[in-house]
Amino acid sequence: MQVTGKLGYSFESAWHGTRRHPFMSVFMVLAIALGISAPFSAIALVERLGGDPLPGLSDTVFHPQIEPRPPEAVARDPAMPAELTLQDAEALYRLPSSPHAAMMSTNRLPAKRGGDDSPLRMTHTRATTWHFFSLFGLHFLAGRGWTAADDDDRAPVVVLSRVANERLFGGKNSVGREMQIATRTFRVIGIVDDFNPKPHFYDLGSGPFTNAEDLYMPFKTWMDLPQDYGFGPTHCWPASGHPDERPTSPNCTWVQYWVSLPDRDAAARFQENLRAYVNGQLASGRFQMNSEPVLSNVRRWVEANHVVPPTVRMQAVIGAGVFLICMISAVGLLVAKFSRYGSELAIRRALGATRKDVFLQCLFEAGIAGLAGGVLSVPLTWLGFRMIQQQSPTLMDGIHIDAAALSQSVAVAIVVMFVVGLYPALRSSRVAPAQLIKTI
């Protein structure tokens, strides 16, 4: 109880010390708030732009890479292609070790409601195979996805995003309705909830922070459409027997491929089959580079591609610099503040207070400033995040800072101020009482 009483008195003395010097206390709180909010807003942005875009599935969804290019093409660009050729993607899709996989690509197609005179509108479309929705955990608001048979039969069916359904059908249940897409009639069979992962990990070639698609249709159905609208980002290289470099030829990469491998054994089996496939292509003479295939889960894929823009990382560095300057200022303010009422501390020592009691009083005063600065840093961090959003609206679309991240700034401010306050508190507690009493 005696210890508790001493702690309570030290805290009460710290509170009175804070109130006795309001101007210095306010300056210190402002320094703390600015020092915490500047790095927190930038670091929170870096974490969200380069964080986990597929929570709960990122460790079990994988992206394979192989090297189909000749040595001269590799010499010009050593980085292994991110996409696959159509021939390789179809071969991997048939592997027995990848029963839960999806091929995909993207473009923009003219689309409108069927049966009326509404204008055609170029719509962001994702062509993929039937496992796409379960592979990435999309939630259906109405209807369903298509089946493997729909894939093989090139069925004229589509799934709409919630946003597209609101724009085209006013948000009503459009399952069963018809649409005209690229001169053909399609039937809506499903509506999915918002799916806009940041970064756009499964198709970084279209941009790591582009918005998600509005239409989803079977891959083979999409292949049968007039391809005047393109195949998505395509990279070709000269090859004998394929001088025209058509995207469907085996010397052009453009197909994204993702596969679910639920455990290490499944990943090891797929890696072995991937290596065997590459060896077979080498033996046939189609591949010339004996490069080891790469298999990356979502987390590693995002990290390897350095999706966070350099300007955002620079903002985090600048924020860290502001934090350092503000904390140095806070130390100076604490030293000056404790020195101003050093005589009061000396009288307390003379009346029986120990160095530990004085140390705790000064440390508690730093903690009170940290708490106040942390609370003030919450709106400042939110404001800084909003300012960055307005500077880069395309980059920041769908990116938000949550309450948990904001509340962390309060805890960090308190801990930092306890650490920062150690030197001023220790300095004030070690001064001899007689030396300070002479100044009274």
- 268 has pLDDT over 90: yes
CB hemisphere CA count around 325 (13 angstroms) = 10
Name the nearest CA neighbour of 96 among 265, 266, 219.
266
The chain-wide mean pLDDT, for the chain, equals 84
- 309 has pLDDT over 80: no
Mean pLDDT lowest for which of 215-224, 372-381, 382-391? 382-391
Q: How far apart are CA 68 and CA 239, in angstroms?
A: 11
Contact 125, 107 (CB under 8 A): yes
- 361 has pLDDT over 80: no
Q: How far apart are CA 17 and CA 10, in angstroms?
A: 10
Question: Which residues partner with 111 through β-bridges?
Answer: 121, 181
Concatenating the DSSP letter of every residue in 156-225 gives: -EEEEEHHHHHHHHTTS--TT-EEEETTEEEEEEEEE-----SS-GGGGGG-TTPPPPSEEEEHHHHHTS
Q: How far apart are CA 156 and CA 163, in angstroms?
A: 21
- 37 has pLDDT over 80: yes
Contact 330, 420 (CB under 8 A): yes
Amino acid in the structure at residue 29: V
pLDDT range class, residue 345, cuts 50, 70, 90: low
Contact 148, 177 (CB under 8 A): no
DSSP element (H, E) containing 260:
strand 252-260
pLDDT range class, residue 3, cuts 50, 70, 90: very low
**Token pair of 410, please?**
């309060």
Q: How many CB atoms lie within 10 A of CB 23?
A: 7
Q: What is the average per-residue pLDDT within 270-291?
A: 94
- 27 has pLDDT over 70: yes
Give the list of residues 6+ apart from residue 97 with CB closer than 8 angstroms, or none: 266, 269, 270, 272, 273
Collapse the DSSP code of 352 into the 3-class scheme (helix H, G, I; strand E, B; otherwise coil) and give the result: coil
Give the list of residues 6+ apart from residue 104 with CB closer than 8 angstroms, or none: 126, 127, 128, 129, 132, 202, 203, 219, 255, 256, 257, 258
- Give residue 1's pLDDT: 36
Q: pLDDT for 125-177, tens place per residue? A: 999 999 999 999 999 999 999 999 999 999 999 999 999 999 999 999 999 99
Q: pLDDT for 380-397, tens place per residue? A: 888 877 777 676 666 666
Q: pLDDT for 95-135, tens place per residue? A: 887 789 999 999 999 999 987 888 889 999 999 999 999 99
pLDDT range class, residue 379, cuts 50, 70, 90: confident
Concatenating the DSSP letter of every residue in 376-435 gives: HHHHHHHHHHHHHHHH-HHHHTT----HHHHHHHHHHHHHHHHHHTHHHHHHHHHS-HHH
Secondary structure, 3-state, 56-125? CCCCCEEEEECCCCCHHHHHHCCCCCCCEEHHHHHHHHCCCCCCCEEEEEEEEEEEEECCCCCCCEEEEE
Concatenating the DSSP letter of every residue in 125-143 gives: EEEE-TTHHHHTT--EEEE
Query: How far apart, in Å, are the Cα atoms of 135 and each of 58, 83, 92, 131, 433?
Result: 10, 18, 16, 6, 71
Omega cis (within 30) before 199: yes
Query: What is the pTM assigned to this prediction?
Result: 0.75
Q: What is the average per-residue pLDDT within 418-434?
A: 72
- Give residue 290's pLDDT: 92
pLDDT range class, residue 313, cuts 50, 70, 90: confident
